[in-house]
């Protein structure tokens, strides 16, 4: 696995972890909404006084949903795959590129692959020199779904 893919994968993991810490801190803080001295106009002050409890609860619910989603999509897969990274025991597969959009932008880094067993994989791969229908040897982290093309199979 190349260094760029590992750096990106664990950078996203670290950012997710830090954001979760701040979100948890805001959930348990006494004032997750702006204090009264930061409210400038009279209309805002009346609105916040009238709806303070509802806003506080809504902020806490939204932050809780964010925490659950990021735990499920980023943090837990990163913890599960960390053993593979430390032992250099990546999943290895010979895959065929199923989808090639033609444009190489950041959005198309997620590509659809089919391995030798017919299983479909959807991985983020930073190598943009792939073509649909060609076979490649891929190293990837199965839970975080980051991978790298090692070589083209003829």
Q: Which CATH number belongs to the domain containing residue 129 in this structure?
A: 2.40.50.140
**Residue that has been written with the tokens 């994989």 in this structure:** 121
| Residue 149: closest CA among 122, 121, 129 | 129
Q: What does each of the 154 residues of the chain score in pLDDT, given as a tens digit?
A: 667 778 888 888 888 889 888 888 888 877 666 666 667 788 877 887 788 788 888 888 998 999 998 888 888 998 898 888 888 888 888 888 876 655 555 544 677 788 788 888 888 887 767 777 888 888 888 888 888 888 888 7
Contacts of 135 (CB under 8 A, 6+ apart): 94, 95, 96, 152, 153
Q: Please state the domain count of the chain.
A: 2
Q: Do 47 and 102 share a structural domain? A: no
Q: Please report the pLDDT score of residue 130 as a whole number.
A: 77
Q: Please report the pLDDT score of residue 100 as a whole number.
A: 60
Burial 17-29 (b: 16+ CB within 10 A, else e): eebbeebeeebee
**Residue that has been written with the tokens 């996203």 in this structure:** 12
Q: Please report the pLDDT score of residue 65 as a whole number.
A: 93
Q: Do 115 and 52 share a structural domain? A: no
**Residue that has been written with the tokens 């065929």 in this structure:** 96
Contact 98, 132 (CB under 8 A): yes
Q: How far apart are CA 117 and CA 132, in angstroms?
A: 18
* Domain stops at, among 67, 87, 107: 87
Q: Please report the pLDDT score of residue 135 as a whole number.
A: 87
Q: Do 73 and 9 share a structural domain? A: yes
Phi-psi category of residue 106: left, alpha or beta, with phi > 0 → left and psi -120 to 50 → alpha: alpha
Q: Do 71 and 17 share a structural domain? A: yes
E runs forming strands in the chain? 91-97, 110-115, 120-125, 135-141, 146-153
Range of the domain at 138: 91-153
Q: Do 52 and 24 share a structural domain? A: yes
Q: Do 34 and 15 share a structural domain? A: yes
Q: Do 8 and 72 share a structural domain? A: yes
| Residue 108: closest CA among 132, 142, 138 | 132
Contact 111, 97 (CB under 8 A): yes
Q: Do 55 and 7 share a structural domain? A: yes
Q: Do 63 and 102 share a structural domain? A: no
């Amino acid at each position: 696995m190349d260094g760029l893919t590992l750096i990106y994968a664990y950078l996203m993991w670290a950012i997710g972890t830090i954001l979760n810490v701040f979100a948890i801190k805001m959930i348990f803080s006494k004032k997750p909404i702006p204090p009264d001295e930061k409210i400038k106009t009279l209309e805002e002050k009346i609105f916040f006084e009238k709806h303070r409890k509802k806003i506080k609860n809504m902020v806490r619910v939204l932050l809780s949903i964010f925490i659950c989603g990021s735990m499920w999509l980023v943090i837990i897969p990163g913890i599960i795959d960390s053993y593979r990274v430390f032992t250099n025991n990546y999943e290895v597969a010979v895959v065929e590129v199923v989808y090639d959009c033609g444009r190489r932008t950041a959005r198309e880094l997620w590509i659809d692959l089919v391995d030798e067993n017919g299983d479909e994989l959807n991985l983020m791969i930073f190598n943009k020199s792939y073509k649909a229908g060609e076979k490649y040897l891929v190293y990837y982290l199965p839970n975080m779904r980051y991978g790298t093309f090692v070589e083209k199979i003829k």
